[in-house]
Each structure stands twice: as C-alpha cells, then as structure tokens.
Amino acid sequence: MTTYEIPLNSLDLPRRPLDPVAWWRRVCFVTDRIAMSGGISPVHTTALKQLQEWEAAGITDYMPVHIEFDEQVFIEENSSIRVHHIGVDDDLRQRDPAWFDAIRETADELLADEDVVLMVTCWVGCNRGPSATLAILLSQGWDVLPALRAIRSARPIAATIYAPDAAAWWVQRNGGSQSEMTEAMQEVRDWFNRHPLDAGWVIGRIHYAN
C-alpha cells in the first residue's frame, strides 16, 4: 500500500467509537506488513489465544512500545514471533526523538526482509502504539496526513496523541528548520481537530472492562 491509496477526504468516524473493548485486541492491518493491536496479556491463557491469532494473521515480529508488561520470554517460548521491545511510559509528555529513532531503526531493519510482518502495540493500542506506527510509516515514505488517515481507518480507537512529536521528529531528521517542525506539528493538530477522538473515554472503557 502506498500513501496515495488512502483517500484524501475527511474520515466519517465517531468521536466515541462503538465498542472500544472489541477493538482493544483486534488485529488491525494498516498495510499488508504492518499491524496494530493491544498488547499481549499478562494472563497467559489470554496471551496464548492472542499469539495464535497473530500467527494465523502472519505476524512474524512484535514491537511492544509500552512498559507496563514485558512478556518477551513467554512470547518467544510459546510462538515463533520475535520480540523487539522499545517501551516508554504513556505520560502524555513530549516524546524524546531518540524513541522515534529507535523505532525507525528497528522497523527499517526488520521490514528490509520481505517475509517480515510487524505487529506494533502499546497496552491499549490507542496512544503509543499508533504513534510508533506513524513513525514507521513516515520512515517508509508516507506523508503524515495520509498515514494518520490510514491508522485511524484501520483502528478507530487510535488516538495517536504523540503524532505531533513524530511529525516534528521526521522534519528534523530530514534537515528541516524549527519553523518547518512547528508547521508540521500544527498540521497534525489541525487534523486532530477535524477528526476528534475521545481518547480518555476509549481508554476508560477498556480499563473498566479489564
């Protein structure tokens, strides 16, 4: 899938998506080789079902970007999926560009192998995971707004709240000026204003159900 296969018209999605819990651990492909979901459960009976679903979907590699749980040993002992952990806290603060660098470097190396299908998650699959996915799409040649559309279309609970930081990071890494970074961040914020998502409500419904 390329940038230009995503329609440029506005998305018609609700601010409060129907049944966020059903979306939580659903496998959501944003391209044929990059997927998003919620994180692998620390409850191993649930985790085994997730891993079976992921393997059935063709997932070969997993990039968890949350710090709440680290199930790498369990995952690699109970599946063929390789884990590449790049965790950060969901503290709503500005993301360090080094985090996006690590995501880009790992994803670029993995996706150079045409047999790799990469799963990216945080715990809920609302903030950090979609933001990491955005960084990967940018590094794969996507423009920021089509990438945001693709992410939200694939996963309606993806708030992607660190997207302004990802956009600024990508401009900076490509030699852009501070004013260009600011412009890129504002472009993302304007997109959010046109496509509102009640992330607090989504996360609350999922935590309540958990």
CATH number, residue 30? 3.90.190.10
Asked if the structure places residue 182 within a domain, the reply is yes
Q: Note the pLDDT tens digit of each residue in 128-141.
A: 999 999 999 999 99
Q: Which domain holds residue 180?
A: 17-209
Going from the C-alpha of 143 to that of each of 5, 87, 121, 196, the distances in angstroms are: 12, 25, 21, 20
**pTM: predicted TM-score of the whole model, two decimal places:** 0.94
Asked if the structure places residue 12 within a domain, the reply is no
The average confidence (pLDDT) of the chain is: 94
The confidence score (pLDDT) of residue 12 equals 80
* Domains identified in the chain, total number: 1
